[in-house]
Amino acid sequence: MSEICTADEAMARVHDGDMIAAHNWGISGSPGYLFRALVERGVKDLTLCIPNLIPLPEGFVERGLTDPTILIPQLKKIISPFFGARGIMSRFSEAFFDTLAKEGRLEIEASAHGSLMERLHAGAMGLGGVYSPVGVDTIVEEGKEKRTIDGVDYIFERPLRPDVGLVKADKADTLGNLVYRGSARGANPVIAMASKYTIVEVFDVVEPGVLEPEMIVTPGVFVDCVVRIPDEDVYSEKRRPELMQLLAEVMLARGVQSEAADIEGGEE
Amino acid sequence: MSEICTADEAMARVHDGDMIAAHNWGISGSPGYLFRALVERGVKDLTLCIPNLIPLPEGFVERGLTDPTILIPQLKKIISPFFGARGIMSRFSEAFFDTLAKEGRLEIEASAHGSLMERLHAGAMGLGGVYSPVGVDTIVEEGKEKRTIDGVDYIFERPLRPDVGLVKADKADTLGNLVYRGSARGANPVIAMASKYTIVEVFDVVEPGVLEPEMIVTPGVFVDCVVRIPDEDVYSEKRRPELMQLLAEVMLARGVQSEAADIEGGEE
Amino acid sequence: MKDRLTEELLAMRAAQEIRPGDYCNLGIGLPQLCASHVPAGAIVQSENGALGYGPLVGPDDVEKMDLDFIDAGGSFFTPAPGMAFFDMSTSFTMIRSGRLMSFLGGLQVSEKGDLAIHSLSDTDEFPQIGGSMDLAWGAKRLVILMTHNTSDGKSKVVKELTLPVSARKCVDLIITDLAVIEVTSGGLALMECTPGWTSEEIQEQTEAPLKVADDVKEMEF
Amino acid sequence: MKDRLTEELLAMRAAQEIRPGDYCNLGIGLPQLCASHVPAGAIVQSENGALGYGPLVGPDDVEKMDLDFIDAGGSFFTPAPGMAFFDMSTSFTMIRSGRLMSFLGGLQVSEKGDLAIHSLSDTDEFPQIGGSMDLAWGAKRLVILMTHNTSDGKSKVVKELTLPVSARKCVDLIITDLAVIEVTSGGLALMECTPGWTSEEIQEQTEAPLKVADDVKEMEF
């Protein structure tokens, strides 16, 4: 049964060495309020599974917002398809990464977006692994079994079953049923299903029956813990116009470019 | 782009030897209107993937309703987890099945519900196969590769990528976006995603924008052909109260038992 | 001959295993009858894609039946606040997640906890697996509800399955019209007897050896 | 030196490949710019989980921006009737289904249609694969939009990739600021030249050999 609790209470469930999964595609849909609580919890040697690792533009962290790169000092491994490289390098010194690498403390495992979703799905379904056609002949296949089936080459992808899923939803009811809004849905429903223990941050908690049974995306059985973001917090629904304004200023300062514009590598 | 067409026009896309997928769990959510059109189309040597093969109770077929067992004479193979045995045997004579078996014309492949969903998902994702823990040491593993991964036994399950998916939805918009109602959802969204060509029967077709973007379950890109059930048809929304009445009569005649009560085997 | 439990009493006893806050899948047959006895605050799942719905519609309430509100056994359920609908892929992710307890019927259970449920013969042309293999594999706790003996008097609690196996070492608890039996690493433990029946009498009806629990008691409803 | 296409003109030419009724994924970078030129009746997909949304919000329309309406590149889009949102698993099922055409950027394309897009080095600590490998594998038709040469003048249309491969034999069409090039089983075919450039001049800028199509023509916008 889902419990309603605070972020601190929820984080007590996270331990050293855990595998954590979370969504990230900029601010929207990413559990920034829970990231901040995880930093405060101070656990270490975590493995993080995340579709993107995109640093926030300047000016956001100063206002109390948190992106997943903030977690890097607590990680021993990152499994991700996309690293906002320049932003990460500007946040942490090159010396910092050199030290991590020398100490063997930060392992990076690259994946394709679809394969990461499929590995989480496989974990959720209790599978031993799947043969995926994506990433053949690329860095993604390194160290993985290859197999040709009916003339097509595949890579063996192992399931991911995170110890803790950090999920961002729009609203929950008191039974833990979740709805999302727009493109903020992302990997959140997949992470909720794949994780052994699922913690959700929401703008609002409503009574059962308020969310239509046809609109519920994540049924409450997958949700262990619902955290309502306090009204005064920078992540609260009340303060979203302020965030939007800040984001707009950043975008205007850059011209036509977008929040995630600095994710583009090299030539592109 | 999804087209709006008649059942006859849609069926022109089905050919001898095709693999067909459809949902069945009694009347609700099962594409009975399209089954009838498929019988009329008269193609043969089909393979049918279906979660259940449940004959309708007596009195329904007489009113123009169709269940998937009606398709048996057109099939060369059925992949299904559940056969409403007594009902099937009463519809077709034992001699009929003996003839099919002797001619090698009807192959039955048993599956578990979850494994059937997973094989359709694997087909949709382009996978070469998955290792499933369900069905180990049972009839389901016959002829399949087995593998132990991290101490757990798995069966290798091959993907299913049906040539044609027959889907029942509640409503479509003209872009082919679909919504479902209640437990009628079933395997329909999975079948829509897995099939190379997806035909949908709906009670109603609405303009884009009528279905809320958060409520759409099957995005239109997976839908090739939308068939609106004509108002006068026994499957139309208008005539659902009549069906419900008929079903209630059957249930009352049986006592507390349910539509699918005769699906229970032997001792149970 | 002594009375065995009625189906209704069996279902009532079984429903006591469900606590408020539990999520439980109720299989076809005897488990369906538990739906009326589930405690408040427990949540029922149906494999065709529904969670948290209300009680089943009785035969006297035809006007409450909704064609699109059916459970796995084809019975009509009533809506309840907070219920959710989802596709069968999501439903079986749920079933395999270890987050549900599961009540299934059974044809045989062995002393190791092996379950036979889907077929009466290895050469059965039309097996009835349905969700049973997934439910048996994925359940947080698997409870089997069945008659203790077949209609011709054979024990359904056996040393080794003679019917086709549905899943190995999966059963946690067996509830029959004669007894409540726990499957332990050391074999079967007789926990409760149907009123009027002694441990010895139940053992006589049972092929597999039963260890009588120290605190064995009479079933209560 | 002769003028090459502006990014805007390149995007306009590329958008001509999309027809009414097509579903198209627009990748990060140059492909995003096509969003404003997609013909009516074509439907755009974004890998983070949106289909059928409207044009992007320009920098002058800040008040139209919605924090929860972002595309894969992080740009804000406007709503449109019939748009749908879904999770990333559904999105990549769509991407791998062969039902979408796909526009991606590129670092290099080989004459066999191999694509390099995610990294500038084999030892890159922070690769940027994202959805590119899935999109390249699953596209009904894959169109690469890129500058013809690197900033230091090297050809990006090459005999063999020197950068890490993202997917083999996947590219159908290359659109650069110099040319439209089709990848055929017999090699690269030069279909269109940027106004003011001859086939010979384009070949000089291109490492891989180009067969000039019989009906080669000047690009139109």
B1 touching chain D per CB within 8 A: yes
Minimal Cβ distance to D88: which of A51, A251, A252:
A51
Which ranges of chain C would DSSP assign to H, the alpha helix? 7-15, 30-33, 88-95, 132-138, 199-204
CB contact under 8 A, A182 and B213: yes
Mean pLDDT for C204-214 is: 98
- Could you tell me the end-to-end alpha-carbon distance of chain B, in angstroms, rounded to an integer? 47
Cα(C143)–Cα(C78) distance, integer angstroms:
25
Report yes or no: A203 at the D interface, CB cutoff 8 Å: no
- Chain C residues with beta carbon closer than 8 angstroms to that of B243: 67
pLDDT-derived band of residue A85, with 50, 70 and 90 as boundaries? confident
Chain A residues touching residue B180 (CB < 8 angstroms): 214
For chain B, say whether D88 makes contact (Cβ under 8 Å). no
Greatest pairwise CA separation for chain D in angstroms: 51
List pLDDT tens digits, range C80-123: 999 999 999 999 999 999 999 999 999 999 999 999 999 988 88
Chain B residues whose beta carbon lies within 8 Å of the beta carbon of residue C32? 258
Window 18-77 of C: residues touching B by CB (8 A cutoff) are 28-30, 32, 46-50, 58-59, 62, 65-76
Residue B260 has a pLDDT of: 36
Q: Residue B129 and residue A132: Cβ atoms within 8 Å? A: no
Q: Are B214 and D83 in contact (CB under 8 A)?
A: no
Calpha distance A110→A85 (Å, rounded): 13
Rounded Cα–Cα distance for residues D127 and D137 (Å): 18
Phi, psi (rounded to 5 degrees) for B171 = -140, 150
Q: In the prediction, which pLDDT does B266 show?
A: 34
Segment of A105-114, B145-154, B248-257 carrying the highest mean pLDDT: B145-154
Q: Could you give the ipTM of this predicted complex? A: 0.96
**Least CA distance to C120: which residue of chain B?**
B266
- Residue B257 confidence class, pLDDT cut points 50, 70, 90: very low
Query: Using one digit for the tens of pLDDT, what is the confidence trace for C137-174?
Result: 999 999 999 999 999 999 999 999 999 999 999 999 99
Backbone angles phi and psi of C162, in degrees to 5: -105, -15
What local confidence, expressed as pLDDT, does residue B72 receive?
Answer: 92
Q: Is A236 exposed, middle or buried (0-12, 13-18, 19+ CB in 10 A)?
A: middle
Shortest CA gap D20–chain B (Å)? 9
pLDDT of B263 strictly over 60: no
Q: How many CA atoms lie within 13 A of A114 on its CB side?
A: 29
Which member of D21, D83, D90 has the closest CB to residue B213? D83
Q: β-strand D43-46 against D50-51: which pairing, if any?
A: antiparallel
Rounded to the nearest angstrom, the minimum Cα separation between A199 and chain C is: 15
HEC string of B2-69 equals CEECCHHHHHCCCCCCCEEEECCCCCCCCCHHHHHHHHHHCCCCEEEECCCECCCCCCCHHHCCCCHH
Q: Looking at beta carbons, which residues of chain D come within 8 Å of A107?
A: none
Average pLDDT, chain B: 90
Q: Which two tokens stand for residue D26?
A: 């627009």
pLDDT band at B255 (very low <50, low <70, confident <90, very high): low
| Residue A41 to residue B218: CA distance in whole angstroms | 40
Name the nearest CA neighbour of A72 among A83, A62, A63. A83
- State residue A180's pLDDT score: 98
C-alpha–C-alpha distance, residues A259 and D68, integer Å: 12
Residue A268: pLDDT band with limits 50, 70, 90: very low
d(CA D81, CA B211): 9
pLDDT digits (tens, 9 = 90+) for B138-166: 999 999 999 999 999 999 999 999 999 99
CA B140 to chain CA centroid, Å, is 20
User: Does C7 qualify as catalytic in the annotation?
Assistant: no
CB contact under 8 A, A127 and B213: no
Residue located via tokens 């063999």: D160
This model's pTM is above 0.80: yes
Task: Return the DSSP state at D50.
Answer: E
Interacting residues of C28 by C-beta distance below 8 A, sequence separation 6+? B260, B263, B264, B268, C72, C73, C105, C130
Neighbours of chain A (3+ CB pairs under 8 A): B, C, D
Contacts by B138-146, CB closer than 8 A, 24 or more apart: B138/C133, B138/C164, B138/C165, B138/C166, B138/C167, B139/B110, B139/C119, B139/C122, B139/C127, B139/C164, B140/B110, B140/B111, B140/B112, B140/B115, B140/C129, B140/C133
Nearest-CB residue to B264 (from C28, C96, C131): C28
SS3 string, C70-119, reads ECCCCCEECCCCCCEECCHHHHHHHHCCCCCEEEECCCEEECCCCEECCC
By DSSP bridging, strand C179-184 and strand C173-176 are antiparallel
- Interface check for A184 against chain C (CB to CB < 8 A): the answer is no
Specify the pLDDT at position D24: 97
Contacts of A247 in chain D (CB under 8 A): 65, 67
- Pairing label, strands C115-116, C108-110: antiparallel
CA gap B119, B51 in Å, rounded: 12
Fold of C7-218: Glutaconate Coenzyme A-transferase (3.40.1080)
Sorted by where each begins, the domain ranges of chain D are 7-218
User: Is D189 strand, coil or helix?
Assistant: strand
CA distance A233 to A214: 31
Nearest residue in A to D167, CA atom: A135
At residue A260, the pLDDT reads: 36
Instruction: Sort out which chain D residues have CB atoms less than 8 A from B193's CB and list them.
Output: 90, 93-94, 97
Q: In Å, how far is B147's CA from the nearest CA of chain A?
A: 9
Task: Give the minimum alpha-carbon distance from A122 to chain C in angstroms, rounded to a whole number.
Answer: 9
Which of C85, C88, C151 lies at the smallest CB-CB distance from B190? C88
> pLDDT at position C125, please?
79
Q: Which of A116, A117, A127 to mutate to test the interface with B (most CBs of B within 10 A)?
A: A127
Q: Write the DSSP assignment of chain A as a string of letters.
A: --EE--HHHHHTT--TT-EEEE--SSSTTS-HHHHHHHHHHT--SEEEE-S-B-PPPTTTGGGT---GGGGGGGEEEEEESBB-HHHHHHHS-HHHHHHHHHTT--EEEE--HHHHHHHHHHHHHT-SEEEE-TTTTSGGGTTS-EEEETTEEEEEE-----SEEEEE-SEEETT--EE--GGG-TTHHHHHHH-SEEEEEESEEE-TTSS-TTT-SB-GGG-SEEEEPPTTSTTSGGGHHHHHHHHHHHHHHHSS--TTGGG--TT-
Question: Across the interface, which of D20, D84, D93 has its CB nearest the CB of B213?
Answer: D84
Whole-angstrom distance, CA of residue B31 vs CA of residue B27: 8
Selected catalytic residue, list C7, C17, C47, C201: C47
Active-site positions of D read: 47
Q: Which residues, at least 6 apart from A18, have a Cβ–Cβ distance to it below 8 Å?
A: A43, A46, A47, A162, A163, A164
What is the spatial distance between Cα B133 and Cα C137, in angstroms, rounded to a whole number?
8
Closest Cα in chain C to A3: C21
The neighbours of chain C, by the rule of 3 or more Cβ pairs under 8 Å, are A, B
- Whether C83 and chain B come into contact, CB under 8 Å, resolves to no
Contacts of A182 in chain D (CB under 8 A): 50, 66, 68-69, 85
Q: Answer for the pair B29, B173: CB distance below 8 angstroms, yes or no.
A: no
When mean pLDDT is compared across A60-64, A167-171, B201-205, D22-26, the lowest value belongs to A60-64
Secondary structure class of B194 (helix, strand, coil): helix
Q: What pLDDT, in 10s, does the model give residues A5-58?
A: 999 999 999 999 999 999 999 999 999 999 999 999 999 999 999 999 998 887
- What's the pLDDT at A74? 94
A182 touching B, CB under 8 A? yes
A vs B: CB pairs below 8 A: 67
**Which A residues 116-145 touch C at CB under 8 Å?**
121, 124-126
In this complex, which chains have at least 3 CB pairs below 8 Å with chain B?
A, C, D
A123 chain-C contacts, CB cut-off 8 A: none
Range with the poorest average pLDDT among A92-96, A113-117, B27-31, C133-137: A92-96
- Evaluate whether C54 touches C77 at the Cβ level (below 8 Å): yes
What are the CA-CA distances from residue B101 to residues A89, A92, B96, C86 (Å)? Answer: 68, 70, 9, 37
Hunting for tokens 């991700």 — which residue is that?
A: A80
Q: Say whether residue D116 is in contact with chain A using an 8 A CB cutoff.
A: no
Chain C CB contacts of B256 under 8 Å are 58-59
pLDDT of residue D183: 98
Instruction: List chain B residues with CB under 8 Å of D92.
Output: 125
Res A259 pLDDT > 50: no
Residues in chain B closer than 8 A to D82 (CB atoms): 173-175, 177, 208-209, 211, 220
User: For position B262, what pLDDT does the model report?
Assistant: 37
| Segment 146-175 of chain B within 8 Å of chain D by CB | 173-175
Query: Is residue A13 within 8 angstroms of chain D, CB to CB?
Result: no
Tokens of A14: 């996270």
Q: How many CB atoms lie within 10 A of CB A230?
A: 12
- Mutate which: C45, C62, C117, C129, vs B, most B CBs within 10 A: C129
Note whether A151 contacts B: Cβ–Cβ < 8 A: no
Indicate left, alpha or beta for A168 from its phi (over 0: left) and psi (-120 to 50: alpha).
beta
Both structure tokens of B112: 């578990």
Buried residues in A141-160 as b, exposed as e (16+ CB within 10 A): beebeeeeeeeeebbbbbbb
Residue D103 near residue D11 (C-beta atoms within 8 A)? no
